[in-house]
Structure 1
Amino acid sequence: MKKQFTLLSCLGLLACTPNPLEKQSQPSPQASASASASASASASASASLPPISSEDLALITEANLHFQALTAKTTPNPDQVALGKMLFYDPRLSINNKISCKSCHNLESFGVDNRATSLGHVSQTGTRNAPTVLNAVYNKTQFWDGRAKDLQDQAGQPILNPLEMAMPSENAVIQKLSKISGYRDSFQKAFPGQENALTYANLSLALARFEETLITPGRFDQFLQGDGKALNDAEKKGLKAFMNKGCVACHNGPGLGGESFQKFGVIAPYPHQTDPGRYEVSKLEKDRYLFKVPLLRNIEHTQPYFHDGKIADLKEAVRIMAKTEFGDDYSEAQIEELVTFLKSLSGLVPAEAKAAPVLPP
């Protein structure tokens, strides 16, 4: 037990695979403090964990080299979160009063609408699949092409997109909300001390604060924290395959993705490829067909898959990834192995977030 306690105490300090598109840097004091706190928490938790086999201990140790358990990234401001939740559910943020953030990011279906491309204003569709909003705080940038630097930057864009919620301007949104006394009061409460709290920047920030609470820890996190029985034997076998086959080169960190941009079609071309990816943002040829690596948390429930939503079946998505990224033709058994592990990445959507708020009249 002493060996187990010592090793589990260190798990919070193990780093994930470096982002291949960014230079490594020294950890900030805040990051060091966070790591120390994580290590202390792991040490405390380990005392109550059941005995663990040496094989499980080795697998947990290796897994912690690539992944981290989900934990809250910010200390939520309750008033800002409450305001953000109302805005998230309110269709009045759209030009026709019919489309809300929830329309495409339904928390009852793991933060997606399970459509290849979402229906926007007058049933228009874009060209990209709506990614899950769950655990989106773990993305280093937002959108498939990374055009938004963070959640706040992302949250304000769909409201003004003519294909989505289609409001004509930030000012039009604020004028609309300013006629609702409940929102005037809620903005002032969420952002006290500001002479005029009802601004588009505060609207985007409140939405981001709510979305930061949409974290879904599950059995995989319990395993990373030292509970060897949290995953069954088939799931552990799939985890080993996921690491040994090299999937962790891109799908790492707390969200198992979201930390880098990678080319879709490294070895073989993706058969449906028409989207230039990050090239649309950077106009750099090296970014053609690069997309942000998607999070794999809750992947069992967030179909259809890929940036274009062309693939509805998780096994088929794994088959395509093996071919395009590794040049391999996986057997059915190999695919089943990986899919079994991927299904262990499901967690619980916070019940409070799923409960629809009372919107101001």
Structure 2
Amino acid sequence: MKMSKIIAASLVASSVLFAGSLADKAKTMGLLPIPTDKSELSKLTDPNGTITPEKVELGKQLYFEPRLSKSGLISCNTCHNLGMGGVDGVSAAVGHNWTANPHHLNSPTVYNAVFAEKQFWDGRSPDLEDQAQGPMQAMPEMAAAPSLVVDRVNTMPEYVEAFKKAYGDDVKINFETITATIGKFERTLVTPSRFDDFLNGKDDALSDAEKEGLETFLAKGCIACHRGVALGGGMQKFPLIGKYKYADVGDFKGDKNGMVKVPTLRNITETAPYFHNGTIWSLKEAVQEMGRTQLGQEISDADAEKIVTFFNALEGRKPMIEYPQLPKITSETPKPDMK
């Protein structure tokens, strides 16, 4: 979205031209709820109809499987901890040999990632299945060659049987099938919140203070970037208007056009620190920094606090995830490598 469109969105928001309820206003301005109808939700999370309970259960095992990493210590859940809002709670992701991300990139949440238009901070992956291939191979993350991942899985008979149960006896357990299965599990990590209840017609789902915060959120023009079901997830120029005060932390500049993926606001109260380089720990400061860099305006302490109050309503109801029992290795399973 170009600067003129963002400014226009901000002006329209602040003019409050919409009649009707606050929920109607929010939806008219581009905020959408997670569907309550399962078939409607499936159109967003499983448009090709490929998800089955067997694939999800296997994907969950693989998501928690540290032996998909070179060291045998790091799983997807290490950086995207499902018990901590889907993040790791540190500024820069830590991977193989306890190495911090060399670009000082922060781990985004995996919850509701299915609603995002693109994956990774530079938007280089189109979906979760493709995204799962990246961290596994990256040296600062799981550092595992695809051949190692395939050998580890194929030498554990319980995994082989699970793949046959999920895909059929003729399944080829290759790197793409393994990572795609993780993506199918991640597609189920959806967290409807009180905000969704509010948009779906339950007026008392939000407190008066949260409603005032939502009004402020709309009036300031935050919906120019944080919109749709994901309340983010698209690509945006960053910084757009003002200078980002922590731009010198790390060397990430976005994609070739300087575009950066807009983080989801869902569960934002649980996913500190903020921004691509994890430099801001206070939500209030994050709101004010976004006002300066993206909207070209100073957001007062009072208004920032109102918006943060609204963010409390975005804390979602997490799916119950039971830590899986993982298959045992055999004598053929490649050993851990800490180098």
User: TM-score surpassing 0.5?
Assistant: yes
Deviations 1:47-79 (A, max 9, x none): xxxxxxxx9951111111212211332263111
CA distance in 2, matches of 1:118, 1:277: 17
Matches within 5 A, 1:68-79: 68-71=32-35, 72=41, 73-74=45-46, 76-79=51-54
Q: What is the percent sequence identity of the aligned residues?
A: 41
User: What is the alpha-carbon distance in structure 2 between the residues aligned to residue 56 and residue 296 of structure 1?
Assistant: 25
Classify the secondary structure of the residue corresponding to 2:74: coil
Aligned to 1:265: 239
Please say if 1:59 is aligned against 2:22: yes
Equivalent residues of 1:188, 1:197 under 8 A apart? no
- Residue 124 of structure 2 corresponds to which residue in structure 1? 147
2:151 to 153, 168, 175: 175
Distance across 1 between alignment mates of 2:107 and 2:304: 25
Partner SS for 1:317: helix
Secondary structure of 2:307's counterpart equals: helix
Contact 1:94 1:159 in 2 (8 A): yes
Cα deviation digits, residues 83-112 of structure 1 (max 9, x gap): 100000010001111000000011110100
**Residues 301-310 or 266-275, more deviating:** 266-275
Distance in 1, Cα, partners of 2:69 & 2:252:
29
Give, in whole Å, the separation in 2 of the partners of 1:241 and 1:138: 24
* TM-superposition CA deviations, 1:130-179 (whole Å, max 9, x none): 00000000111100100111100001111111110111x21221011111
Separation in 2 of the partners of 1:319 and 1:102? 31
Partners of 1:85 and 1:239 in 2: how far apart?
35
Q: Is the 8 A contact 2:105 2:252 kept in 1?
A: no
SS of residue matched to 1:291: strand
Matched letter for residue 148 of structure 1: S
Correspondence for 2:56 = 81
Matched, 1:315 2:288: no
Question: For 1:59-208, what aligned pairs fall within 5 Å after superposition?
Answer: 59-65=22-28, 66-71=30-35, 72=41, 73-74=45-46, 76-126=51-101, 127-167=104-144, 169-192=145-168, 195-208=170-183
TM-score, normalised to structure 1, is 0.79
Distance 1:330 1:257 in 2: 20
Greater relative contact order (CA < 8 Å, ≥ 6 in sequence): 2
Contact 1:141–1:149 (Cα < 8 Å) also in 2? yes
Deviation at 1:20, TM superposition (A): 6.7
Q: Tell me the CA shift for residue 278 of structure 1.
A: 3.0
- Give the CA deviation at 1:348: 1.5
User: Shift in Å at residue 327 of structure 1?
Assistant: 2.3
> Counterpart of 1:316 in structure 2: which amino acid?
E
Does structure 2 conserve the Cα–Cα contact (< 8 Å) formed by 1:57 and 1:226? Answer: no
TM-score (norm 2): 0.84
Q: Which amino acid aligns with 1:70?
A: I
2:224 equivalent to 1:253: no
Q: Note the aligned Cα RMSD (angstroms).
A: 1.8
Secondary structure, in 3 states, of the residue corresponding to 1:64? helix
Counterpart of 2:316 (choices 347, 356, 359) is 347
Selected match of 2:302 from 333, 336, 351 = 333
1:27-42 mapped onto 2 (5 Å cutoff): none
Secondary structure, in 3 states, of the residue corresponding to 1:262?
strand
C-alpha displacement of 1:264: 2.0
Q: Residue 268 of structure 2 corresponds to which residue in structure 1?
A: 299
Q: Is the 8 A contact 1:104 1:112 kept in 2?
A: yes
Shift of 1:276: 4.4
Residues 313, 330 of structure 1: CA spacing in aligned structure 2 closer, same or farther, 3 A cutoff? same
AA matched with 2:27 = N
Task: Write the mapping of 1:212-231 to structure 2, written as runs, cut at 5 A.
Answer: 212-231=187-206
Instruction: Decide whether the 8 Å contact of 1:188 with 1:198 is kept in 2.
Output: no
Gaps of 5+ in 2: 4-17, 36-40, 329-339
Structure 2: distance between partners of 1:144 and 1:329: 26
152-161 vs 197-206, which moves further: 197-206
User: Which residue number in structure 2 is paired with residue 237 of structure 1?
Assistant: 212
Superposed CA offset, 1:266-310 (max 9, x none): 22110121444333xxx3xxx12x211110000000000000000
Q: Secondary structure at the match of 2:158?
A: helix
Tell me the amino acid that sits aligned with residue 357 of structure 1: P
In the other structure, the counterpart of 1:357 is 324
